[in-house]
Amino acid sequence: MIMNYYDLIFYLFAAVTLLSALMVVTNRNIVHSAFYLLFTFFGVAGLYVLLAADFIAIVQLIVYVGGILILLLFGVMLTNKITNVEIKTGTINLVPAVIGVGLFAGALLAAVVNAPWKINNTEQAFPTTKILGTLLIQEYLLIFELLGIVLLIALIGAASIARK
């Protein structure tokens, strides 16, 4: 039986996300990790598109790939002696971490797979931008304004901490 395109694209994006995330956490070179993180964010944006969340996907691309990843790369470059090629990073607690995270992931996977989710598979309207905008200025107005203030204070605080 031929898989339909939706499933095929889901497996493609899931593979991109998980493989590049694996490279992020196992690579010893921080700059390589940061670049693999790019593919992880792209894969997650693709998963959002498959979940009919087009606005979230675009925001993911703009904020994560365009903003946070660049910030992380600046962090790597400003805190390493580039000239001495010291961009390697060590690891600690390797064995307990593998055991603990393995057990945790196994338990969580078992719970997620076996849980009797009530699925209500209704088709959602695809351009979600208008709906989200309406919700943001009606039901979620207070949270929206608070987030604006939080972002402003965080950016002022970051600038003042970094300049000291």
Partner 1 sequence: MTVGLTHFLVVSTLLFSMGLYAIITRKNAVMVLMGIELVLNSANINFVAFSRFGNFGYSGHLVALFVIVLAAAEAAIALAIVLNIYKNMSTVNVDEIDNLRE
Task: Name residues contacting partner 1, limited to 89-108 (CB under 8 A).
Answer: 89-94, 96-98, 100-101, 104-105, 108
Q: Tell me how far, at minimum, the Cβ of 120 lies from partner 1, in Å.
A: 4
| Three-class DSSP labels, 98-150 | HHHHHHHHHHHHHHHHHCCCCCCCCCCCCCCHHHHHHHHHCCCHHHHHHHHHH
- 71: contact with partner 1 by CB under 8 A: yes
Q: Tell me how far, at minimum, the Cβ of 85 lies from partner 1, in Å.
A: 15
- 133: contact with partner 1 by CB under 8 A: no
Which structure tokens are listed for 10?
Answer: 């889901």
- 46: contact with partner 1 by CB under 8 A: no
- 124: contact with partner 1 by CB under 8 A: yes
